[in-house]
Amino acid sequence: MFTFPVEPDDLFDERTRQFVALRIPHPVVDRARTRITDMWGTGVGSWVPVWSAEAERAHASGDPLLASLCWGAARFPCLATDERRAAQEHQLAAYLEAAPGFPVRFQRAVLNVPEPVPVHFFQRRRVARPGVIVLCGGVDTWKMDLHRLAVATARATGLLVAAVDMPGTGESTVPLAPDADRVLVGLVSQLRRAYGQPVGFYGVSFGAHWAAKLALAGHVDAAVDLGGPTGLTDEPIDLLNLPHGMPGIVGNALHLDALPDEAGIADLLASFSLREQGLLDKAGAGGSPLLAVNGADDVYVPLGDTVGLAGRPETTVWVIKNASHCAPERSPQVNLALWGWLAARLAPGRPLPRLAEVAARQPLRPYIDGRATG
């Protein structure tokens, strides 16, 4: 693990919308921004101490869920320092303290697949439907950070939501690697055996890479890829020149001690390519339904990584106009539509979910550009 150059102000420019969307109040984010002058240090103006103070303030006021979210901001963007690793422990403790007040049923379990995988389960209290959705975030936004999305997905679909950290992040014990999907395949298999129900996968950002891979290989019953890199485009990702510290964030997920050189990066990215892994050649043989979605103006993932999936059988592609990575500008409409899509695919043959899918997609239609399919 290693630290890397990144300016706190640049992170706030990019991530304030995200922090607020995760349910950290805007005044709290603004207050932290005015005080933070250093990213990696331990002084009074450093990232972790400032966010830790906000977490302690929230906890003292009787809001352990907000405290958990602030501890999550404190450990952001990766566990490259002792202080951030401690912040993640505080985040989990505050989160579990808040759990009895969640508006859904909640359970934490550690499943051995055979690697230990901590899983947070969410299900609405009434009229639950058969089916499981594995929810997985990206390289810097992890399962506890996605609490709001996990709860909303469980309540909207009636399905059991199993939130996990992507390999190389959070509580994961294995590094990010091209074959790290073995952990997720094992998890999906165990959930299918335990519940006897179809299992879907909803991946966000880099977590959506695994959604696409699991669908192409037929390991899940349906999957949503929201902004995932797939390696399908002829325009490779220039990882070393991505903004806002992303090279260092990815490098930490890979459990590297420092960033590799340009040649090393090229080989590494090629090893993650689903095309190079031959999965597109197998796309017509035993694959699963896949919904691929991203903003048309993503600065991290080339658009070809999404639209390159359009010719695959049982694949739907939505490109969102005037939207960035994972289309947060249209998050309510995107989530409503993809919830309907997932619920329909995980309940085949039932007319009501199909009708719900069509209805849920209507608010999104004005924002889908001409490269969409399905």
Q: What angle do CA 216, 220, 222 make, to 5 degrees?
A: 80
Where among 34, 65, 98 does a domain terminate?
98
Residue at 372 is within a domain: no
Same domain, 93 and 190: no
pLDDT at 357: 84
Domain that includes residue 292, residue range: 105-367
* Pairwise CA distance, residues 107 & 200, whole Å: 19
Least confident range of 26-40, 84-98, 280-294: 280-294
pTM, rounded to two decimals: 0.95
What end-to-end distance do the CA atoms of the chain give, in Å? 42
pLDDT at 242: 84
pLDDT grade for 282, boundaries at 50, 70 and 90: low
User: What's the pLDDT tens digit per position in 204-220?
Assistant: 999 999 999 999 999 99
User: What's the pLDDT tens digit per position in 326-351?
Assistant: 999 999 999 999 999 999 999 866 66
pLDDT at 234: 76
Average pLDDT on 278-291 reads 78
pLDDT grade for 312, boundaries at 50, 70 and 90: confident
pLDDT at 371: 67
Sign of CA dihedral 185, 180, 89, 155: negative
CATH classification of the domain holding 30:
1.20.1440
Whose CA is closest to 164, among 179, 182, 178, 145? 145
Residue at 374 is within a domain: no
CA atoms within 13 A on the CB side of 66: 19
pLDDT at 145: 97
pLDDT grade for 69, boundaries at 50, 70 and 90: very high
Where among 98, 131, 163 does a domain terminate?
98
pLDDT at 285: 60
Same domain, 94 and 112: no
pLDDT at 236: 72
Q: Which distant-in-sequence residues (6+ apart) come within 8 Å of 319 by Cβ?
A: 293, 294, 295, 296, 303, 306, 307, 368, 369, 371, 372
CATH classification of the domain holding 308:
3.40.50.1820
User: How many domains does the chain contain in total?
Assistant: 2
pLDDT at 134 > cutoff 70:
yes
pLDDT grade for 261, boundaries at 50, 70 and 90: confident
pLDDT at 128: 82
pLDDT at 269: 80
Residue at 209 is within a domain: yes
With tokens 């997905």, the residue in question is: 153
Same domain, 123 and 46: no
Strand 116-123 to strand 105-112: parallel, antiparallel, or no bridges (unpaired)? antiparallel
pLDDT at 349: 61
User: What's the pLDDT tens digit per position in 73-85?
Assistant: 999 999 999 999 9
pLDDT grade for 284, boundaries at 50, 70 and 90: low
Q: Which residue has the higher pLDDT, 282 or 161?
A: 161
pLDDT grade for 370, boundaries at 50, 70 and 90: confident
Same domain, 258 and 336: yes
Same domain, 306 and 159: yes
Same domain, 49 and 192: no
Same domain, 77 and 12: yes
pLDDT at 266: 77
pLDDT at 203 > cutoff 90:
yes
pLDDT at 239: 81
Residue at 206 is within a domain: yes
CB atoms within 10 A of CB 5: 9
Q: What angle do CA 16, 19, 20 make, to 5 degrees?
A: 85
Alpha-carbon Rg for the chain in angstroms:
20
Where among 72, 98, 124 does a domain terminate?
98
